[in-house]
Structures are given as C-alpha cells and as structure tokens.
Amino acid sequence: MRLRNKSAVVTGAGSGIGRAIAELFAREGAAVVVADLNEAGGQATVDAVRQAGGRAVFVRTDVSKEPECRAAVEAAAREFGGLNIVVNNAAAFIYGNVEQTTYEQWHKVWDVNVVGQAQMVKVALPELRKAGGGAVVNIASQSSFIAQPNYVPYNSSKAGVLQLTRCLAMDLAKENIRVNAVAPGTIRTPAVDDCIHKIGMTLEEGYKRFGEDAVLKRLGEPMEIAYAVLFLASDEASYVTGANLVVDGGATID
Ligand SMILES: NC(=O)c1ccc[n+]([C@@H]2O[C@H](COP(=O)([O-])OP(=O)(O)OC[C@H]3O[C@@H](n4cnc5c(N)ncnc54)[C@H](O)[C@@H]3O)[C@@H](O)[C@H]2O)c1
C-alpha cells in the first residue's frame, strides 16, 4: 500500500492510461477523484475501483476550464479530507501540419495539454500546502522530444509539458511539492486505436506497425505507464523532482 492515506486527482481517468492510474492508485490505498469530460467513461472507472474495494468519485471536469478544475480539487477535500497528488493526464489529440491546423485547434491543444495542467496545479496548491506538500505527475509523451510527420500541434504542446514540469518543480520545491513527468511511447488505448483507424489500418496492422518502433517490439499497456506514475507519486521518489521518466519500450533510444 504505497499510497495509504493519500488522496489524488487524476484527470482524463475515464479511459486508457488515466483509468489504469486511477485503478492502480486505489489498489495502493489512495482515494481517487476521477476528473474527466466523459461522464460514462469516468463513472465506469469509479465503478471498477469500487468493485475492487477502493475509493473513488467522479467529477465531470474540462481541464481547460479553471472553475471545473477547482471543483475536482474541492471534491477531494470534501470527500477525502484533503489532496496529496495531482496527475495531469487528460489531453486533446489534435494532429496535422501547420497549414491544416486552424487557430482554434492551436488554442484547444495548448489550453488542454499545457494550460490545463498548469491551472490544475494552481487550484490544487492550497490543498497541497495544507497537506504539507505533495506530488504532481504530468503526462508528457515521446512526442515531447521527437518530430513526427503531421503532428505539429500535439507534439509542440507535449514539448510544453516538459518545460512546464521543470519550471513548476523549481518554483514549488520550497513548498515540498515534487513535480515530474512521464513520457509514454505508443500505448494500447482508445486514443491510439482512433489514430490507427484514421490512417486506414486495422488494429492488428496498427499494433504491429507501431510495435516495430519500440526495441521491445510491441505496444505498451496502460498499466505499464501507471506503475511509473505510481513511483513518482509515492514517497519512494522523495528525491526525484523535475524529471521526465520515459516509458516507451526503447522507441526513442536511437
Ligand atoms: N496512448 C498513447 O500511445 C500515448 C502516448 C504518449 C502519451 N500519451 C498521453 O497519455 C495521456 C492519456 O492518453 P490515452 O491514450 O489514455 O487517451 P484516451 O483517449 O484513452 O483517454 C484520454 C481521456 O482524457 C479525457 N479528456 C480529453 N479532454 C479532456 C479535457 N479537456 N478535460 C478532461 N478530460 C479530458 C477523455 O475524455 C478521455 O477519457 C495523454 O496525456 C496522452 O497525450 C498517450
């Protein structure tokens, strides 16, 4: 029970990696606020956590709207007596080249992927302070540091996540708040399934094709990201801040 007596807000926990994080955190003793735009997905995560004997509540949250982030934090304080951990996992998947990408799409991708993470930390600060400190884990991507064809808006926003992480780590260290990032490679989630369908492949073809990018020759599973997030959120990572833990099956080592 590495998160015994802790409380966490996990954004985008209604699907994929966020759901795996919520389930793992609850198994490790944390009470979890499942903060997601998608009510059905979020409720399904809460049901799965509760069926396994854990504690979770759903709060419908658009991370690009500050009052909604605040409501997720308030739910942690009200339902679980405080807040110790924030996992910024929600993302907008907006792809394209510079000519295709509209001004509105640029704003959306940055508002959700970067400003949304920053706002969530901002509104969580009073509760983290009350708890004497805490841990923030921002989900970045292999796309934070490599170029990929026609991925300009998504990749530039994910690069922003890494700098946001370092700057927050520097500013918040004096408050005993550690801030780290996890950069997944290609992980088998609904977001990747959508991508595969958009490029006209079957899932089987897509998993094989993207699996080839990793030296481990397969896609990752959401739980393999969740374990990395658990480490950074737990006291075992007490001397780790401003770091980016790459979990990509070796896809970007060369
Ligand atoms: N799957 C991968 O291969 C991969 C690779 C690298 C990084 N990532 C990152 O991992 C994270 C999770 O991705 P996933 O693959 O599990 O995606 P997913 O689509 O399975 O889940 C994303 C969840 O975020 C929610 N969401 C979207 N916009 C939101 C908003 N504005 N406010 C609140 N919730 C919102 C969605 O409703 C959904 O439940 C993202 O940050 C993504 O960029 C994923």
Confidence of residue 82 (pLDDT cuts 50, 70, 90): very high
- Ligand 1 center to 16 CA (angstroms): 7
pLDDT tens column, 46-74: 999 999 999 999 999 999 999 999 999 99
pLDDT, tens digit, for every residue of 183-193?
999 999 999 99
My answer on whether 142 and 195 are in the same domain is no
> Do both 46 and 71 map to the same domain?
yes
Q: What is the pLDDT of residue 90?
A: 99
In tens, the pLDDT along 160-208 reads: 999 999 999 999 999 999 999 999 999 999 999 999 999 999 999 999 9
pLDDT for res 83? 99
Catalytically active residues, by annotation: 154
Domain-located, residue 2: no
Mean predicted confidence (pLDDT) in 114-137? 98
Pairwise CA distance, residues 136 & 86, whole Å: 5
Pocket-forming residues, ligand 1, beta carbon under 6 Å: 11-12, 14-18, 36-38, 41, 61-64, 89-92, 112, 139, 141, 184, 186-187, 189-192
Same domain, 198 and 113: no
Q: Are 127 and 79 in contact (CB under 8 A)?
A: no
**Integer distance in angstroms from the first to the last C-alpha of the chain?**
37
* Structure tokens that stand for 18 in this block: 């966020």
If you average pLDDT over residues 142-170, what whole number do you get?
98
Rounded to whole angstroms, how far apart are CA atoms 106 and 65?
A: 16
* Host domain of residue 145: 7-185+221-245
Distance CA 27, CA 82 (A): 19
| Atom from ligand 1 closest to the CA of residue 112 | 31
